Structure 1
Amino acid sequence: MLVLLPPSEGKTAPSSGAPVDLDSLSHPVLADARRRVADTLAKVSGQRNALEVLDVGASLAGEVARNRTVWDNPADAAARIYTGVLYDAAGMAGWDDALLGRAQDRVRVVSALWGAVSPADRIPAYRLSMGTTLGRLGGLATFWRGRLSPELDSLADGGLVVDCRSASYVAAYRPTGPWVAVKVMRELDGKRAVVSHMAKHTRGLLTAHLVRSDATPETPQDLADAAAGMIGEGLVDVTLAAKAKGPAELTLVIAG
């Protein structure tokens, strides 16, 4: 089983520590590509139009400026760098070495800067999204697609891929084996509707549930059965639907 996560927009920058070491990251074959993206990001972030290129507002100018020194900035485990809703719900910043060890085999964060990292990989905070067109590298989803596919397909090794990513990150890697996309809906007065904030929260709960579990789902139905174990903890129903094309859909239904 391989759980795929998006990075969070919000990141916590460490106040001290050694910078990123490319040789120590998962998937070392990606080192040259990571170097190219980071070098280009540092250059673009120093341009007058940096905020426009990176599609961020003036309030994030400090984070963009920090990109300029990405190679020198302190690094920490990705589990503590990513601090958005999904990661908070998973409690990832508090995972001990045993859980991080499990996540090394079971979880990958698909990143516009690093390609794919495990929660245990030490990286600096940065500001870059997969939908960005970055200098001569072009669209980052296209840049990473051919590079990520052999790495993540090999890691999945024909096993089940549990996909908690958003569309722009799916564009960078589409699994070739058994694949389930995780959706979240809210039920209120007998009616169900798509949610956003709580979708991230619920995917985070599922991620922690799967990493902590001794069982490893091998099929979409196994995954649905595992997710059903969360019913009663804010979850009221789980449904699984096969699709003619693309991933099957696991829908987690939360109470309104």
Structure 2
Amino acid sequence: MLVLLPPSETKAVGGDGGPLDLDALSHPELNPARRELIDALRALAGDVPASLDALGLSQRQSEEVQRNAELLQSPTVPALERYTGVLYDALDVGSLSAAERKQADSRLAVASALFGLARGTDAIPAYRLSGGSSLPGLPPLRSMWRPVLEPLLADVDDLVVDLRSGAYATLARVPHAVKVRVLSEDPGGKRKVVSHHNKAHKGKLARALAQAPTEPADVDDLLAVAEAADLRVEREAERELCVVVSA
């Protein structure tokens, strides 16, 4: 099973790993695109106002530009520990047992605008690049990632569970993936799409999938894992599920 997680804009700073080593990352076929984007971010960081504009940041977030400037020198941590925020708080990899963490590292991957796909153990630095960003002199991110990411993901024979948000889903289409959305249900049974808090419920589902003693092989297995974790997950179509939460 491969669970595709969205990244987060917020990231843990620092780390105890050495500088970024692209050759040590999973999926080396993605390295040409990774290098091109890293070079572009580092060059752009020399012009702070231009960086803030391209990355959609405010002046108060100028430290993010410095992180991009130091991409090749700053310390690293495993990808599942780099990202923070609502989804990653709910996933809470730090509280997993050693066996569960090993499963999380093999089953979960982060769909990153900079690295394309970061496996749980991939050591990465703090950076700033969103799925909807446009970098001067480069084509749109989806034009860079689709030619290399889509074939890679198409070759995954195992169950693929897609928890990505919209901007990151456009970077690589995965037609065979099981897509998951979150809906809230009021006492009258009326449902609507959950916005901010959908990340927490996706994080809970990702945690349940990481903890499952037996790796889910199909949608029925996935539903069984969710039920065992007290998550209400319903099948909307053959490859479409929704997590239903009380309003």
TM-score by length of 2: 0.92
Tell me, yes or no, if the aligned pair for 1:103 and 1:118 is still in contact at 8 Å. Answer: no
Unaligned runs of 5+ in 1: none
Residue 236 (structure 2) aligned to one of 229, 233, 241: 241
Equivalent residue, structure 2, for 1:221: 220
Aligned letter for 2:233?
V
1:145-200 deviation per Cα after TM superposition (whole angstroms, max 9, x unaligned): 1111222233x22x2211100111111112243x2111112222223222122210
* CA 238–103 in structure 1, closer or farther in 2 if over 3 Å, else same: closer
Paired with 1:32 and 1:6, the residues of 2 have a C-alpha distance of 22
Paired with 2:81 and 2:166, the residues of 1 have a C-alpha distance of 24
Tell me, yes or no, if the aligned pair for 1:11 and 1:125 is still in contact at 8 Å. Answer: yes
Per mean C-alpha deviation after superposition, the further-off stretch among 210-219 and 1-10 is: 210-219
User: Which portions of structure 1, spanning 4 or more consecutive aligned residues, are displaced by more than 6 angstroms?
Assistant: none
C-alpha displacement of 1:31: 1.8
Tell me, yes or no, if the aligned pair for 1:51 and 1:61 is still in contact at 8 Å. Answer: yes
Paired with 1:99 and 1:86, the residues of 2 have a C-alpha distance of 18
C-alpha displacement of 1:16: 4.9
Tell me, yes or no, if the aligned pair for 2:233 and 2:244 is still in contact at 8 Å. Answer: yes
Equivalent residue, structure 1, for 2:10: 10
Paired with 2:97 and 2:73, the residues of 1 have a C-alpha distance of 26
1:69-90 deviation per Cα after TM superposition (whole angstroms, max 9, x unaligned): 1110111111111011111101
Paired with 2:154 and 2:98, the residues of 1 have a C-alpha distance of 25
Aligned Cα RMSD in Å? 1.8
1:42-86 deviation per Cα after TM superposition (whole angstroms, max 9, x unaligned): 111222311111112222111122211111011111111101111
Tell me, yes or no, if the aligned pair for 1:87 and 1:93 is still in contact at 8 Å. Answer: no
* CA 55–217 in structure 1, closer or farther in 2 if over 3 Å, else same: same
Paired with 1:117 and 1:49, the residues of 2 have a C-alpha distance of 27
How many residue pairs get aligned? The number is: 245
Tell me, yes or no, if the aligned pair for 1:186 and 1:193 is still in contact at 8 Å. Answer: yes
Aligned letter for 2:74?
N
Aligned letter for 2:106?
D
Equivalent residue, structure 2, for 1:146: 147
Aligned letter for 1:32?
P
Are 2:29 and 1:34 equivalent residues in the alignment? no
Q: Give identity over the alignment, percent.
A: 41
C-alpha displacement of 1:94: 4.1
User: Helix, strand or coil for the counterpart of 1:137?
Assistant: coil
Tell me, yes or no, if the aligned pair for 2:15 and 2:77 is still in contact at 8 Å. Answer: no
User: Helix, strand or coil for the counterpart of 1:127?
Assistant: coil
Aligned letter for 1:183?
R
Tell me, yes or no, if the aligned pair for 2:2 and 2:159 is still in contact at 8 Å. Answer: yes
Equivalent residue, structure 1, for 2:193: 194
Paired with 2:94 and 2:20, the residues of 1 have a C-alpha distance of 18
User: Helix, strand or coil for the counterpart of 2:199?
Assistant: helix
Paired with 1:11 and 1:119, the residues of 2 have a C-alpha distance of 15
Aligned letter for 2:138?
L
Per mean C-alpha deviation after superposition, the further-off stretch among 89-98 and 133-142 is: 89-98
User: Helix, strand or coil for the counterpart of 1:193?
Assistant: strand
Paired with 1:141 and 1:93, the residues of 2 have a C-alpha distance of 32
Tell me, yes or no, if the aligned pair for 2:105 and 2:121 is still in contact at 8 Å. Answer: yes
C-alpha displacement of 1:139: 0.9
User: Helix, strand or coil for the counterpart of 2:235?
Assistant: strand
Tell me, yes or no, if the aligned pair for 1:89 and 1:202 is still in contact at 8 Å. Answer: yes
Tell me, yes or no, if the aligned pair for 1:103 and 1:120 is still in contact at 8 Å. Answer: no
* CA 172–82 in structure 1, closer or farther in 2 if over 3 Å, else same: same
Aligned letter for 2:173?
R
C-alpha displacement of 1:135: 2.2
Aligned letter for 1:253?
V
* CA 75–152 in structure 1, closer or farther in 2 if over 3 Å, else same: same
Paired with 2:17 and 2:227, the residues of 1 have a C-alpha distance of 41
1:186-241 deviation per Cα after TM superposition (whole angstroms, max 9, x unaligned): 2222232221222100111111111110222222233223212222xxx4x32111
TM-score by length of 1: 0.89
Aligned letter for 1:240?
R
Paired with 1:140 and 1:46, the residues of 2 have a C-alpha distance of 21
Tell me, yes or no, if the aligned pair for 1:19 and 1:74 is still in contact at 8 Å. Answer: yes
